[in-house]
Amino acid sequence: MKHCKDAVCFIATIGDGVEKEIARLTEEERLFDAYILESMGSMAVENMVDAFFKDMETKYNAQDKGITLRFSPGYCDWSVKEQKKLFRLIDATRIDVTLTDSCLMHPRKSISGIFGIHPFDGDNPVFQYNPCSDCMKKDCTARRA
């Protein structure tokens, strides 16, 4: 990121409808259905952010710029407490996303993050660097291949 001239910060959510339904299913002791819906909700918000990220990549590539991988507070070596900084930059109340005292987002199916924008240089290893390739956290569900 230190080589980037600009950065994009984002907060995205699929809302709280899914988690309300999960709570209802759990109350009815339909735990398997709740588990499936939990997984589907996580995939839905991830897919939404992936689509946004790909759109941004296309947009910046057309301007002869590249973008880094995206990073989120609470992953890698970025403390979840830094979530507050992102929320100071973006008015998340417009999409009804709030932070708890422990810096978790509500609705839970929300993702915040940042990626850098750099002059296009597809051969520059700094811009292609993927920290997951050097990371020892083998059980990380966010590992990028």
Is the separation of the CB atoms in 119 and 4 below 8 Å?
A: no
Question: Considering the complex, what minimum distance in angstroms separates the CB of residue 69 from ligand SF4?
Answer: 9
Give the three-class secondary structure for 59. helix
Question: Considering the complex, what minimum distance in angstroms separates the CB of residue 78 from ligand SF4?
Answer: 9
Q: Which is nearer to ligand SF4, 18 or 67 (CB)?
A: 67
Q: Which is nearer to ligand SF4, 3 or 143 (CB)?
A: 143
> What gap in Å lies between CA 88 and CA 103, rounded to an integer?
13
Question: Considering the complex, what minimum distance in angstroms separates the CB of residue 22 from ligand SF4?
Answer: 25
Residues at the interface with ligand SF4 (CB under 6 A): 75-76, 131-132, 135, 137, 140, 142-144
Question: Considering the complex, what minimum distance in angstroms separates the CB of residue 79 from ligand SF4?
Answer: 13
Give the three-class secondary structure for 127. helix
Q: Which is nearer to ligand SF4, 52 or 75 (CB)?
A: 75
> What gap in Å lies between CA 3 and CA 5, rounded to an integer?
7
- DSSP assignment of 70-86, as one string? -B-TTSTT--GGGHHHH
Closest C-alpha to 108, from 38, 60, 55, 59: 38
Question: Considering the complex, what minimum distance in angstroms separates the CB of residue 135 from ligand SF4?
Answer: 3
Residue whose entry in the numeric block shows the structure tokens 């499936």: 36
Q: Which is nearer to ligand SF4, 21 or 76 (CB)?
A: 76
Q: Which is nearer to ligand SF4, 1 or 135 (CB)?
A: 135
